[in-house]
Each structure stands twice: as C-alpha cells, then as structure tokens.
Structure 1
Amino acid sequence: MLSLKWGGGYELVSLGEIGNFYGGLSGKSKNDFKDGNARFIPYNNVYAHLSIDFNETESVKIEADENQRALEYGDVVFTGSSETPNECGISSVVTQRPCEKIYLNSFCFILRFHKPIVTLPEFTKYLFRSHHLRKEICKTAQGVTRFNVSKNKMAKIKIPIPPLEVQEEIVEILDKFHTLTHSLTQGIPQEITLRQKQYAYYRDTLLDFKELAP
C-alpha cells in the first residue's frame, strides 16, 4: 500500500507554468437562456461535485459564429466568486470526454492544462479539494461584501506532479473511501460521521505535500 507520505520522485510547479485560465460563457442576455440549442454546466454542478456531471445541465442559445469555449477532458473548473472567501474557488474536474460541445456558466472559470496533460483528471479532482490547496485557493479571494478569485494569484499556486503510477494509487485509495462514504445513506449518525472523517483524513494526508517541498 502507498505510504501516507510520498517518497519523492515528484516536482512542484505553479499553475501558470502548466496551464491557462479561461472564462465561461460571455456576452449572453436573459433571452439566450430560453429555448437554447446547446447545453452548459451551471454553477451548482461545479460546487456540488468532484467531477462535472454532464447529466445536470441547462440550455443556452449559441450562434454558429460565436467564439465560446467548450469544456474539454481534463479541465479543472472553479467557482469564481462567493459571499465568503472559504467558498471561493470550489473545484470540479471534467473526468469524462464530452460527446458534444458543452459550455460553462459565466460565474465559473476553467484551468486548462497544456498538452500533454501531466496530471490525471481523477487525481486533480481530489487534489484541488484537499485541505492544503483549498487553503491556498482561499487566499486568492479578494473583496469586501462579495469575494472574487484572482486568477493572477491562482497562477502562482504550486501543485505537486507525482509520477502517474503514484497518482493512480492515490486515486484508487481515495475512490474507495469516497464511494464508501457517499453510499452511507442509512445507518448510525456516528458511523457516518466517522467514515467522513476517515475519508477527509486520507485525502488530506495523501495530498499534503507542504513538508515535502524542495
């Protein structure tokens, strides 16, 4: 079994070095969201799921000559603003290859990695919700009554790039805990709470690279 502390063989790189940030839908009016001919991912889909759920979409009108950016496999999607810094930059990852063009709401933004992608989408869905990265992302929020993520600050955040076999093993462990935790719809409340704490512990411990930074 994988050690709870990585043994090396990885590097820390800033998000700005390995990807670009892009906005969601732009230039849309209320009428464009009536009887649309295309689908887009709403804000709540991003906020609620580790992976984008293509079954939870809404419609929007997209003209043939519009320059709107569709989601791609491997994209990391973030909520752009919130009333509190702690709820800014909540992530969800495109872990399936879209079978059609699907767009993103205007209140979220995309981190698109350069090709070839060096991180597994199944790995990044856990990485960007780990305690350490959530803390760093929250620091990028700016505002008074409503907070917005600064993409310039986000670009400076560093993430680990462990070997693919390490990423795969981390995913295997966390998938099991995630499935177990979210399948507990019935049972003793204390047991459900315990499973949730175990999942959070393994996720944050496996993805805690702070002490291992060179």
Structure 2
Amino acid sequence: MSDIDELIERLCSAGVEWRAIGDFAECVSGATPKTRVSRYWDNGTIPWMSSGDVHKKVVGSVEGRITQEGYGSCSTHMLPAGTVVIALAGQGKTRGTVAITDIELCTNQSLCGIVLSTSDISPKFLYHFLSSQYAQLRAISSGDGTRGGLNLGMIRAYKVPVPPMEVQEEIVRVLDSFTELEAELEAELEARRAQYAYYRDKLLDFGSRGGVRWMTLGEMGSFRRGKRFTADDYVESGIGSIHYGEIYTKYGLSTEQCCSFLPTKMESRLRFAEKGELIIAATGENAEELCKSVVWFGADRAAVHDDCYIFRSNENPKYIAHALLTNAVMRQKKMLISDGKVSRISGKSLGKILVPVPPLEEQQRIVAVLDEFDALVNDISRGVPAEIEARRKQYAYYRDKLLAFREKAA
C-alpha cells in the first residue's frame, strides 16, 4: 500500500475538491410495469433491476425482465453500463446500498441511477466512494428508520471527493483486486444457491408423483396480522420483536432470538407469535421477495410488525417456509399481490396460496435435506459464506482508509 499512499501524499496533500453529484451527473429513477398485466412481463427481454439486485454490487445480470410494451407503459429509463445505482428505499438494510452496472438495463422506482456527464470522475471510483458512505446516506434519509427513504434531490446534493484521475485509477485498481476475489466466491455461492433452488423445487413438486393432498394456506391454518411499531420505538432490551424488513435481511428460515427490542410498556399494543408459528412478510419491493418467512422457535413470544402475518397450522412450519420459496408459489403470488410503490399481499390473498401437504414424516425428511442446503449457502460461520464475509471486512478496511480525503480549502 506504500506506493498509493505516496501518490496520495504527493498529489493530494493539500486536500481535494468536493463536488455535488448533481454538478457532474444526471440522477434518474425508474418505475415498475403493472405486475398483474402478464404481457408486460411474459417472455420479456429488457433487463429490469429491482432493489434487491443492488446487493450484487457489480450487476452483470438480473432476474427481472420486461417486454417492450411493459417498458413503454411506465416511466422507467434505460441506463448504460457503468451506471452507479443507489437504493432509495428497500427492506431492512437495502436503503443506501450502492452497486455499479455491467450491462444496459432499466430499474424500478426505488433505485437511482447516476449517469456521469464528465470524464473527470471514474464511475468505479464513484462506486467505491459511495459504498463507503452507507451510514451517511441512511442518516440523511427522510422518514423514520423503517420506512424512510432517499430521494433524487438528496443524491444530487451529496458531495464526493474528486482527486486527480491518476489517484482515482490507482484506488480503483487496489480496491478492485479485493472485489474480484469476492466476486469469484460469490459466483461459487450463486451456483450453490441455484442448486439449492433446483432441489427445493424438485422435492416439493408432487404434481407428477400423486398421492399428496393439495391445500390452500387458508384451509391448512389461520392468520393473524401483526401490530404497528417503528424503529423509533426500539430499545436496547425488552420485548423481542420482528419487523418485516428484518425477515429479508437478518433472519434465515427460523430463529430463536430477536434482533430488535421494544419497551415493555408497549406490550398491550402488540401482537405476538408463539413458538412454532410462522411469520410471513406481507410487504416487499417486488413479487419475488414477497412472502419470505421465518419460523419463531424462541422460548418467549415475539412481537410482530403489522406488515407481517402470523400463521399457525398443524403442519411442519419449516416445511411451509420452504414451500413459500418455490417457483410454484411465485407464480401464484404474482396474481395475488397489489401494485404500488411496494408490493403487498393481504391475509385473504395469502390464504389462497396452494401448496402440497404430504404426511408429517415426509415433511420432516424434506426439511432435513433443504436445511442442509440452506446452511451451505447462508451460514456465515462456515465454508464459502464465511470466506466471503472475511473478504468483505478486508475490502471495507482498505476502502475507508484510501478514501478519507480532506476537502481543499477554498
């Protein structure tokens, strides 16, 4: 690192100019075609990026595809490769997350694309710098801690350092060496995730085997909607709580402990999940994310947010959690959700989702197989996930060290 340190000292010892993003780039948000209009989506060829895709960091592909008619039906825009993208809103930790595109694509309304209009700034330098600003970007978000959001005005006004291009390129070279190794590990992990999804759908596809009951969730059990609370209510310790955003970002398919807590004085205003009940997220950025769930196995009750439903049945709750992730359920969800800035599903619509219900012994066997796959792709204490976590910490350390520029005096 001594060479780059010497370069920065030689060229930037007096500080560097800081400029507002709006002075050198166009900031563009996207849109979402109506999800219930199948011709906007079926056999689509135009890459459409959702908020969840920002977690890929370097976006070379997206699952979302829309048709030309779908593109024309809304106000989304095509963005060139090399666009820096910031999540304006999103579940849990998504808001403020930054990515850079490797392909031309369009986005949903919860993303801001930063398209540079100058050659003075490297897109990758801007990406690395804004990645270091996650906490600061979230701090300027409007609204409360769970429903707040960034907007285009905030992004345009945000200031970034502009060191000489020689310095920018050297910083990018160093930081890219870390992210390239992480990308290789992510590719391996993505292959395992695809394998997991394949076996999950295969194990839960009883259509060709026969002899299995098919039931709606409404026939199988009962739903209770959670009660409202916000991040402003959180305390260091107290009543364990589960917010819908945390289901996407902090929990696997089951948990015995809560990540956030509410004051005991709120108890009478809350609704709780009991041990063995399934908590289903009923709000999400898109249909793909909607209905992710977590089984509560804690000894005490857990308070549940009002954008979730608590589901109780006599079936294995982890079996239901796995079933809700299948492509078969995905196809059903798209016909049941309501359109808007975020996707939502009601308790009545949740009750219409149809799943196969084998005997409990078979449910347990399927859960045991899928739990092992789930651990291989999500447990950061073992294997590839653990190595990725270590590389991310190393990258963050050097990124923050290299990008700590002083502002040049006027």
Deviation at 1:58, TM superposition (A): 1.1
Query: How many Å separate the matches in 2 of 1:178 and 1:30?
Result: 29
- Which runs of 5 or more residues in structure 2 are unaligned? 1-201, 389-410
CA distance 1:185–1:65, shift in 2 (3 Å): closer
Deviation at 1:50, TM superposition (A): 3.6
CA distance 1:163–1:109, shift in 2 (3 Å): same
Larger Rg: 2
Query: How many Å separate the matches in 1 of 2:241 and 2:377?
Result: 29
Is 1:112 the counterpart of 2:312 in the alignment? Answer: yes
> TM-score, length-normalised on structure 2?
0.39
1:55 equivalent in structure 2: 257
- Give 1:139's match in structure 2, choosing from 323, 335, 340: 335
Higher RCO (CA-CA < 8 Å; seq separation 6+):
1
2:165 equivalent in structure 1: none
1:127 equivalent in structure 2: 323
Query: How many Å separate the matches in 1 of 2:288 and 2:266?
Result: 38
Query: How many Å separate the matches in 2 of 1:44 and 1:121?
Result: 20
Query: How many Å separate the matches in 2 of 1:11 and 1:77?
Result: 23
Is 1:185 the counterpart of 2:400 in the alignment? Answer: no
2:299 equivalent in structure 1: 99
CA distance 1:100–1:73, shift in 2 (3 Å): closer
CA-based RMSD: 3.1
Partner deviation per Cα, 1:95-132 (whole Å, 9 max, x = no partner): x2x2122211233222222xxx1x21232221111221
CA distance 1:178–1:144, shift in 2 (3 Å): closer
2:242 equivalent in structure 1: 41
Deviation at 1:30, TM superposition (A): 6.7
1:154 equivalent in structure 2: 350
| Aligned pairs, number | 180
Query: How many Å separate the matches in 2 of 1:151 and 1:179?
Result: 30
Deviation at 1:41, TM superposition (A): 1.4
Supply the AA of the counterpart residue of 1:45: E
- Which runs of 5 or more residues in structure 1 are unaligned? 190-214
2:292 equivalent in structure 1: 90
SS at match of 1:21: strand
SS at match of 1:106: coil
Select the structure that is richer in helix: 2
> TM-score, length-normalised on structure 1?
0.69
CA distance 1:30–1:167, shift in 2 (3 Å): closer
